[in-house]
């Protein structure tokens, strides 16, 4: 697996962890993407 793919996977896991911690809250795609340090558009495509 390439380093870029590993980095993206790590960022997406960080976002999933944030969603798990705030499961009772409404999801805000922009905020979750920010946790992953990626753009909202990239997060939606990933």
CA gap 15, 42 in Å, rounded? 13
pTM, two decimal places: 0.83
What per-residue confidence (pLDDT) applies to 1?
A: 75
- The answer to whether 28 touches 19, Cβ cutoff 8 Å, is no
pLDDT tens for residues 1-46? 799 999 999 999 999 999 999 999 999 999 999 999 999 999 999 8
Q: How far is 37 from 1, CA to CA, in rounded Å?
A: 21
What pLDDT is stored for residue 11 in this prediction? 96
- Token code pair at residue 40: 């909202």
């Amino acid at each position: 697996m390439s380093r870029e793919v590993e980095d993206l996977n790590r960022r997406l896991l960080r976002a999933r962890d944030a969603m798990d911690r705030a499961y009772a809250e409404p999801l805000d795609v922009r905020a979750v993407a920010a946790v992953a340090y990626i753009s909202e558009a990239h997060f939606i495509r990933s």
